[in-house]
Amino acid sequence: MLVIADDPPLGAVLADLLREMGDVALVSRPAAAQGRVRTLQPALIVLAVVGSDALAGSVRQGLRADPWTAAIPLVAVAPPPRQGPRPTRPPAAASLDMPFALDDFIRCIDQARHTRVRPRAPAVLQRIGNAV
């Protein structure tokens, strides 16, 4: 599992909670997350970007648009709502607004871990598959 968080204490807490379920890596620079996700290919991503809705949306959109990462279940942890409506978010297997109860977090993780996402093969692999 991989935690992507722009707030180091929050990322550490989320990673500690997830360690009960398996191995966890932590990325504290969301802008660099795409490369780490491609390299690690985690079974699950927890995205907790509290500093900027735009940054969180950009990371989510990048992960969903990349054929190598699109099929990885994503749990989005969002800060408490600010004034006005929330921006539209790209899809996630589960979403959770802070503050949240531990049971709710565990339930979201379980839901995401059991979500079947249809993987999309990268275009080069699709072409190879069509040639065979």
What is the CATH classification number for the domain harbouring 17? 3.40.50.2300
What pLDDT does 56 receive?
Answer: 78
Tens digits of residue pLDDT in 98-107: 777 788 888 8
| Number of domains the chain contains | 1
| Mean pLDDT (the chain, rounded) | 76
Contact 93, 73 (CB under 8 A): yes
Per-residue model confidence (pLDDT) at position 126 = 41
Q: Provide the percentage of residues in the chain whose pLDDT is more than 90.
A: 10
Question: What phi and psi, each to the nearest 5 degrees, are found at residue 2?
Answer: -135, 130
* Residue 5: strand, helix, or coil: strand
Looking at the predicted structure, is the pLDDT value of residue 96 above 60? yes
pLDDT in the model for residue 50:
80
Domain that holds residue 36: 2-131
Q: Using pLDDT thresholds of 50, 70 and 90, give the confidence band for residue 119.
A: very low
85-124 core/surface letters (b: 16 or more CB in 10 A; e: else): eeeeebebbbebeeeeeeeebeebbeebbeeeeeeeeeee
- What is the spatial distance between Cα 52 and Cα 115, in angstroms, rounded to a whole number? 27
Residue 3 has pLDDT above 70, yes or no: yes
- Reported as a single tens digit per residue, the pLDDT across 34-88 is 888 988 999 989 988 887 777 777 888 888 888 888 888 888 887 766 655 555 5
Q: pTM for this one?
A: 0.73
